[in-house]
Amino acid sequence: MAVYTNVSAEDLDVFLTHYDVGSALSFKGIAEGVENSNFLLKTTRGSYILTLYEKRVSEGDLPFFLALMEHLAEHHVTCPIPIKGRDGALHRTLNGRAAALISFLDGVSVQHPTIDHCRALGGALAELHVGAAGFEGQRKNGLGQKDWRGLFKKSKARADEVSRGLGSIIETELTKLDTIWPSYLPTGIIHGDLFPDNVFFIGNRLSGFIDFYFACNDMLAYDLAVCLNAWCFDDDQRFHPDQARAMISAYSQVRPFSELELDALPLLCRGAALRFLLTRLYDWLHHPDGALVAPKNPLDFLKRLQFHQSVRGPADYGLSA
Amino acid sequence: MAVYTNVSAEDLDVFLTHYDVGSALSFKGIAEGVENSNFLLKTTRGSYILTLYEKRVSEGDLPFFLALMEHLAEHHVTCPIPIKGRDGALHRTLNGRAAALISFLDGVSVQHPTIDHCRALGGALAELHVGAAGFEGQRKNGLGQKDWRGLFKKSKARADEVSRGLGSIIETELTKLDTIWPSYLPTGIIHGDLFPDNVFFIGNRLSGFIDFYFACNDMLAYDLAVCLNAWCFDDDQRFHPDQARAMISAYSQVRPFSELELDALPLLCRGAALRFLLTRLYDWLHHPDGALVAPKNPLDFLKRLQFHQSVRGPADYGLSA
């Protein structure tokens, strides 16, 4: 939620000479996307987002992300469309950062999703999975199950500063998931970070997805497990089965959700909760003093993890096979 | 350059019921205005800025600022226009802050002003001064010459942490200005903070002024002295007389600049440099760890002050009576 790299009007004018988008009428840094610097650009031809990729997005991954957005847009999944430069390139360098110009997407992020929002999300997520099926790009999940232990190592020594016993809870869960993490579920392209910030609505209509910079190949049901964690708990960390039911039911109508996937859901939800617990714990312990972004409390995801650990089967999510 | 107060889509929907501006299509926190939280709102009817006033803007002053913007817009000075609620009110409360909806203004701030930008600014500033002449509101300059000693008191003990000898340089200047600060020059409404961030251009054409939250009654020539400080020094703190000449010459063509004002200019420039040195020094010493906004280096204005102290008369600014 910040602008890390400054772009002056003069820098912008030079950058825009590489594109056929008209000249700048307005240019404002926006508080969107935790990882990158984003600017809203209005030109004589339309509205765009200029993104400068900061350290967490590797330049080597950009062709995958941008081509995926292009592919999805061609397959009727509403998302920002990367704008090609006059030379055909989808990204170039600006002020020492890789930078891309993408189309502006109408819509507003909701903070407290309702059943209607969850239903719309479920259907659109399945459309995303189906629409991405023909995409040829491949990217390993850099924050997948096999990476969690390595991630934890960087925070382990100080985990108990955040909450007494946290280190041992995580250690036990990592060991458990090592033995029971599924490997037999259908895979494909997942968004990987579908929190409400990354989904736009106009009223109750879902108008599009943004921020594909965690997209990768992984189990499709894991994407839904991320959404259950991100959309179906309230601010007091209470789970709302009616929202989960609406989401999964809408998903299944577009892409049938197998019994195997349903049975694995509690496990996938534990994994997804652990993944965000680990990245938030890392950010919490490692953010520099004076950081532009206030880190989010990792303990929200400890509570969600503990809920999933207590679940006996899909029925506890309000679901049935 | 930040969003201090969060506004959810749900909060926004409730807020918009008080206005006749259509429904939200897009809503983004923007990095504009150091003092307040600003959001760019696109609705089915147009584009707007929603501002939530943080602690530095007193709610008691808001009617003055908003009425001034209305008055200026009616007198052909391009600036954001406050949007009235259905009840006629120009501001109301949102998430514990006073909040106003204002019209969106096209234009981009320049970081390195050219002679053309300075010329356009001079003419538009004079139009602002002339256009505000009939405005009935009054507001004392809260950061005027009489306030500088009190402001310095809050930083004095630690001034030399920033630069050795800084405290005594400021002390000497305060004493000097106490005795020679002019009181006989024409007064009126000044903007008071016309840094390049607060002026929009489309190409070389000045498209409008923003951020009137330091506007007050003071000497008109003092506003020009602020601009000379803010627009006519480069990043190495070198003064550019050609830019100053273009600015003042364009100003004089709209509102004749008297010989008295010209003679007082070096003094007013010293005062303006000191005012920004003092507020930046305060921010530098008092910003909390983890603050969203990186404070600006106060020493830039020490160098500008020292330049003005070395000046013998208007000729050193490239000007003649």
Residues A280-306 pLDDT 10s? 999 999 876 655 566 788 999 999 999
Q: Are residues A77 and A27 in the same domain?
A: yes
Which of the two residues, A36 and B67, has the higher pLDDT score?
Answer: B67
Final residue belonging to a domain, choices B79, B103, B127:
B103
Among the candidates B73, B103, B133, a domain finishes at B103
Task: Tell me: do B122 and B54 sit in the same domain.
Answer: no
Look up residue A193 and give its two tokens.
Answer: 């970070």
**Residues A134, A244 share a domain:** yes
In chain B, the DSSP E strands lie at 24-30, 37-43, 47-52, 92-94, 97-103, 187-190, 199-202, 205-209, 216-219
Q: Name the DSSP letter for residue B313.
A: S
pLDDT at B33: 65
Residues A196 and A305 in one domain: yes
Determine the pLDDT at residue A178.
96
**Tokens 């009489």, residue located:** B146
Asked whether residue A108 is assigned to any structural domain, the reply reads no
* Residue A109 forms part of a structural domain: no
In chain B, what's the furthest Cα-to-Cα distance?
59
Contact at CB, A27 and B108, closer than 8 angstroms: yes
A165-174: burial string, b at 16+ Cβ within 10 Å, e else? ebbebbeebb
User: Does B109 reside within a domain?
Assistant: no
- Select from B4, B13, B30 the residue whose CB has the most chain A CBs within 10 Å, as the one to mutate to test that interface: B30
Q: Does B108 contact A294 at a Cβ distance shorter than 8 Å?
A: no
Question: Do B33 and B120 lie in a common domain?
Answer: no
Can you give the pLDDT at residue A145? 97
Cα–Cα distance for residue pair B97/B148, rounded to 1 Å = 28
B18 and B72 share one domain: yes
User: CA triplet A63, A65, A68: central angle to 5 degrees?
Assistant: 100
Residue A1 included in any domain: no
- What residues of B are in contact with residue A111 (Cβ under 8 Å)? 8-10
Q: Between chains, do B31 and A2 touch, taking CB under 8 Å as contact?
A: yes
Q: Is residue B225 in some structural domain?
A: yes
Which band of pLDDT confidence, cut at 50, 70 and 90, is reported for residue B215?
A: very high
CA distances from B88 to B19, B47, B80, B85, B93 (A): 9, 20, 17, 5, 14
Residue A4 lies in a domain: no
Type of residue numbered A167: G
| pLDDT on residue B1 | 41
What is the model's pLDDT at position B4? 78
Q: Domain total for chain A?
A: 2
Q: Residue B294's closest chain A neighbor by CA?
A: A290
The CATH number that applies at residue B63 is 3.30.200.20
Mutation pick from B10, B104, B108, B284 vs chain A, by most beta carbons of A within 10 Å, is B108
Q: Nearest CA to CA, how far is A134 from chain B (Å)? A: 31
Phi, psi of B42 (to 5 degrees): -110, 130
Residues A92, A173: one domain?
no
Contacts of A31 in chain B (CB under 8 A): 2-3, 28-31
Nearest-neighbour CA in chain A from B25: distance (Å) = 5
Question: Both A32 and A121 in a single domain?
Answer: no
A166 touches A159 (CB < 8 A): yes
CA distance A185 to chain B (A): 36
Mean pLDDT of chain B: 93
CB-CB neighbors (< 8 A) of B201 in chain A: 9
Residue B248 sits in a domain whose CATH number is 3.90.1200.10
**What's the pLDDT at A290?**
52
Domain range spanning residue A42?
A: 9-103
The answer on A138 and A13 residing in a single domain is: no
Look at residues B109, B89, B10 and name the one whose alpha carbon lies nearest to residue A26. Answer: B109
- What is the pLDDT of chain A when averaged over all its residues? 93
State the nearest Cα–Cα gap between A64 and chain B, in angstroms: 27
Last residue within a domain, chosen from B37, B71, B103: B103
Are B94 and B148 contained in the same domain?
no
Contact call for A24 and B108, based on CB within 8 A: yes
Q: Are A233 and A167 members of one domain?
A: yes
Are A178 and A252 in a shared domain? yes
Q: Which residues of A touch B2 (CB under 8 A)?
A: 2, 31, 292
A34: confidence class by pLDDT, cuts 50, 70, 90: low
pLDDT of residue B286: 87
ipTM of the shown complex: 0.87
Among B133, B134, B225, which residue's Cα sits nearest to residue B182?
B225
Q: Which residue has the higher pLDDT, B227 or B286?
A: B227
Kindly state whether residue B263 falls inside one of the protein's structural domains: yes
Distances (CA, A) of A310 to A34, A242, A272: 31, 18, 15
In a domain, A310, yes or no: yes
CB contact under 8 A, A30 and B27: no
Q: B200: closest CA among A22, A128, A9?
A: A9
Cβ-nearest to A9 among B26, B111, B292: B111
